[in-house]
Amino acid sequence: MQIFSIHQYDSFWIFLSVSISIPYLASSISGFVAPTRKGPEKLTNYESGIEPKGTTWIQFQICYYMFALVFTVSDVETVFLYPWAVSFKELGLFAFIEVIIFIFILVVGLVHAWRKGASEWR
């Protein structure tokens, strides 16, 4: 007596082979169809057609990255509050306490970033 039948997984194997082959097919088709002409404009540092003046290496201050990082983290993390707010009545007191802890951790991180100067735009 055989417990697992091989034939019951046929659709799985077909789906798996199709999903693995699609990226390879898309990559190979675009390699054949795309033009491969390389002119002098393509070989410059910028592809806008304007010749760069001076050095192309510019040092950016870290405060811009820190400002963007703090914004992104606070923005993405607060999105997690929406599903909780939608199902607030069904979740109960335990979920409410968890969300209070979650908001507290967000505020502590924001205060820490503020003290380190990540929210200052110089």
pLDDT at 82 (0 to 100): 85
Query: What is the gyration radius of the CA atoms in the chain, in angstroms?
Result: 27
Cα dihedral 18/22/24/25 (nearest 10):
110
CATH code for position 76: 1.20.58.1610
pLDDT at 75 (0 to 100): 83
Per the structure, the complete domain to which residue 83 belongs is given by: 62-116
Q: Which helix (H) or strand (E) holds 63?
A: helix 62-79
* DSSP structural state of residue 38: -
pLDDT at 61 (0 to 100): 74
Q: HSE on the CB side for 62, CA within 13 Å?
A: 3
pLDDT in tens, the chain (122 residues): 456 666 777 888 899 999 999 999 988 888 888 877 777 666 666 656 566 676 767 777 777 777 788 888 878 888 888 888 888 888 888 888 988 998 898 888 888 888 877 767 66
* Overall pTM surpassing 0.75 (yes/no): no
Structure tokens at 73: 């983290």
* Cβ neighbours of residue 99 closer than 8 Å, sequence gap 6 or more: 81, 84
Q: Say if CB 95 and CB 84 are below 8 A apart.
A: yes
Q: How many structural domains is the chain composed of?
A: 1
Could you tell me if residue 93 is inside a domain? yes
Q: HSE on the CB side for 79, CA within 13 Å?
A: 5
Could you tell me if residue 1 is inside a domain? no
